[in-house]
Amino acid sequence: MIRFLFKGIFRDRQRSLLPVIVATIGVMLTVTLFCWLNGFLNDSIELNARFSTGHVKIMTAPYAKHIDQVPNDLALTGVDTLMKKLKSDFPDITWEERIHFGGLIDAPDKNGETREQGPAIGFGIDMLSGDKSEIGRFNLVKSLRRGRLPEKPGEILISELFSQKLKVNPGDTVTFIGSTMNGAMAMANFKIAGTISFGTIGMDRGSVIIDLKDIRSVLDMDNAAGEIVGYLPGNYYDEAAASKVVRRFHMLFPPSNDEYAPTIVTLSEQNNLGQMMGQIKQVGGFVVFVFVLSMSLVFWNAGLLGGLRRYIEFGTRLAIGEDYSHIYKTMIYESILIGIVGSITGTIVGLTISLYLQNHGLDIGSMMKNASIMMPAVFHARITPLAFFIGFIPGLLSTVAGTALSGIGIYKRKTAQLFKELEA
């Protein structure tokens, strides 16, 4: 039966060509958009995890409450002891100390007077200890535009756009002006080692990266850190694995009366990322539903037109004694075969497009010139195992639903009129 139906489908192109094309296009759009949404979510999570949230983050409760203000006066202290315990109790997690800070970068003229000045967002990370983890995580080597990476204390990196605004170049000296952990004024001169481009407009406007030891000295934060971020094995965020780390942390560090005791949060609990992840998943489900509904309507109309063209065929089959239900079932079987063919071809085309977008991405930086949130300028698709099967949902459901609706007309044929129609 299946072989017979296959022959009928491929030999009668007027019957199968349009449904296969429609199924292919719908499945292709579904797969491509599904992979694009996955990539959008993955790129956004990865960017936030690398620069800000980690997969889990440890800080004091008051610091977490006012984190948007970067309150280093509420930072963790005694971090050397805390880091030893974390590395001992969570050996699979990569832990990094960081200091986020804000201040002014002053660019002097040849007389030492202020020539240009601008507010800066600062990152204090480990760049000079010999451990290259943070350098790789911040992608500093590939992000370097001019100059080089810092090689000794007193050297910093500055974003390319910020350097152009301040009219400074690698080798120039600038002054950082901020406040210490104790609330006093902090001033220090730094030499620009190089300029970088993060790839996100919000950070490229005014960012500086300073070695952790240097910024600790400037801000009077000896043996202190604003945050300790942790990364799961494989550097890929997993909500279940992160929750296990949180539960174990709470067992090792039970609640206490110390206001500045360390607390921990997951990535999804920061920067509204949990809400965004949920919304992206809902959008993905809605997209599949829309394609199933719209394609079902198209196949319904196509089935009605095909039914009119095959009106005599159905009449002849009924006249020679074929049962109504058998004809209806063969139409459903045909639609399943058409759906499978369209789903396979559509999935192949969709995955091909997604593979290109996964490798090259799509630059939407021109649309985000005024963006202030941390979002990448280039979004990539992400192919997951589910992408190989997601297209079969609209591909099969829509073809079967459309044929089922249009095929109801078969039962309206009256056998008593068949011979008159055939004689005509």
pLDDT digits (tens, 9 = 90+) for 115-137: 888 999 899 999 998 888 889 88
Could you tell me if 223 and 362 lie in one domain? no
Split at pLDDT 50, 70, 90, the class of 210 is: very high
Structure-model confidence comparison of residues 135 and 198, the more confident one: 135
Could you tell me if 66 and 196 lie in one domain? yes
d(CA 296, CA 313): 24
> Is residue 342 pLDDT above 90, yes or no?
no
pLDDT at residue 366 in the model? 53
pLDDT at residue 15 in the model? 60
Is residue 283 exposed (0-12), middle (13-18) or buried (19+ Cβ within 10 Å)?
Answer: middle
Tell me if 251 is assigned to some domain: no
Average the pLDDT over 189-211 and give the result.
86
**Total residue length of the chain:** 424
What tokens were used for 168? Answer: 């400074």
pLDDT at residue 372 in the model? 43
Could you tell me if 71 and 21 lie in one domain? no
> Is residue 109 pLDDT above 50, yes or no?
yes
* Number of structural domains the chain divides into: 2
Could you tell me if 97 and 216 lie in one domain? yes
Average the pLDDT over 228-250 and give the result.
88
- pTM exceeds 0.75 for this model: no
pLDDT at residue 311 in the model? 60
Tell me if 252 is assigned to some domain: no
Tell me if 261 is assigned to some domain: no
Tell me if 270 is assigned to some domain: no
Could you tell me if 340 and 205 lie in one domain? no
Domain boundary among 196, 231, 266: 231
Could you tell me if 36 and 111 lie in one domain? no
Could you tell me if 23 and 89 lie in one domain? no
Split at pLDDT 50, 70, 90, the class of 59 is: very high
The rounded percent of the chain whose pLDDT value lies above 70 is 80
Split at pLDDT 50, 70, 90, the class of 296 is: low
Whole-Å CA distances, 28 to 186, 199, 244, 254, 287: 57, 29, 38, 51, 13
Tell me if 243 is assigned to some domain: no
Could you tell me if 29 and 144 lie in one domain? no
Neighbouring CB atoms inside 10 A of 367's CB total: 10
pLDDT at residue 168 in the model? 92
Q: What's the pLDDT tens digit per position in 142-165? A: 889 999 999 999 999 999 999 999
Could you tell me if 220 and 296 lie in one domain? no
- CA 401 to mean position of chain CA atoms: 33
Q: What's the pLDDT tens digit per position in 7-51? A: 555 555 556 677 778 788 888 888 888 888 888 777 777 878 888
pLDDT at residue 373 in the model? 46
Residue 160 belongs to what domain range?
56-231
pLDDT at residue 341 in the model? 85
pLDDT at residue 409 in the model? 64
Nearest Cα residue to 15 out of 414, 406, 413? 406
Tell me if 101 is assigned to some domain: yes
Domain boundary among 178, 209, 231: 231
> Is residue 2 pLDDT above 70, yes or no?
no
Could you tell me if 224 and 308 lie in one domain? no
Domain boundary among 231, 264, 299: 231
d(CA 107, CA 172): 9
pLDDT at residue 98 in the model? 94
Could you tell me if 356 and 395 lie in one domain? yes
> Is residue 190 pLDDT above 90, yes or no?
yes
Tell me if 253 is assigned to some domain: no
Could you tell me if 62 and 211 lie in one domain? yes
Structure-model confidence comparison of residues 400 and 223, the more confident one: 223
Tell me if 417 is assigned to some domain: yes
> Is residue 371 pLDDT above 50, yes or no?
no
